[in-house]
Chains A and B, each alone.
Chain A
Amino acid sequence: NAGVTQTPKFQVLKTGQSMTLQCAQDMNHEYMSWYRQDPGMGLRLIHYSVGAGITDQGEVPNGYNVSRSTTEDFPLRLLSAAPSQTSVYFCASSYGEGADTQYFGPGTRLTVL
């Protein structure tokens, strides 16, 4: 099993550009989530999904959109990138609910100029 995969690994955007961060898992997990990690702040939940077709907002959802059309994929869209979105983004999945053991992807390091 590949586990949780994320692409790209690195990305540089200009302010105002849009892009999609990809996340896929092959463990048939129902729960998937996106976090951002900033220095000294730990991980903050952006959006999450409890199954295909169901998504909800986390702690810091503004500026991001998600959709979940399949169990495997959970892309994160930046609508109009801002320097404040410079961060490392992690996708995670779990078999059950969000409080279960999370399996994390390797992360995408995003810089917005």
Chain B
Amino acid sequence: SQQGEEDPQALSIQEGENATMNCSYKTSINNLQWYRQNSGRGLVHLILIRSNEREKHSGRLRVTLDTSKKSSSLLITASRAADTASYFCATDNDYKLSFGAGTTVTVRA
């Protein structure tokens, strides 16, 4: 069953703007991961944040984790056309990953 749920389902922004998407989950986790999927391709790992971490950065990506609220957010700063993709959060559930349905981000030129 899906553990994580992303919000919003879809997001359209102008190039150069920031994109923020959220992930909520139901049960306690050891880590939470974010993946990107370009159209017709496999998923690519972006970042992993552990349950004892509150914030993590990787290039233009910033991930936060609030275990008290069982939620995480992914911020993409200064978006580019190449950021157009679907973004998925994944939480560990019994030593396996459970994926949400994803947020589709469209970056307009």
A residues at B contact (CB < 8 Å): 4, 33, 35, 40-45, 48, 58-59, 90, 92, 97-99, 101-107
Stretch in B61-69, B70-78, B89-97 touching the partner = B89-97
Output the residue of B35, B42, B43, B99 with the most chain A CB within 10 A: B42
Q: Is the CB of A43 within 8 A of B96?
A: no
Given A59-B1, A103-B45, A107-B42, A98 and B95 contact (CB-CB distance below 8 Å): yes
Q: Is the CB of A42 within 8 A of B96?
A: no
Count of A-B contacts judged by CB separation below 8 Å? 57
Q: Is the CB of B99 within 8 A of A90?
A: no
Given A42-B100, A99-B30, A101-B33, A106 and B43 contact (CB-CB distance below 8 Å): no
Chain B contact surface mostly: strand
B residues at A contact (CB < 8 Å): 1-2, 30-31, 33, 35, 40-45, 48, 88, 90, 92-93, 95-102
Q: Is the CB of A98 within 8 A of B97?
A: yes
Nearest B residue to A48, CB-CB: B96
Given A42-B101, A59-B1, A102 and B43 contact (CB-CB distance below 8 Å): yes
Given A42-B100, A42-B101, A59-B1, A97 and B95 contact (CB-CB distance below 8 Å): yes
Q: Is the CB of B96 within 8 A of A106?
A: no
Contacts of A90 in B (CB 8 A): 42-43
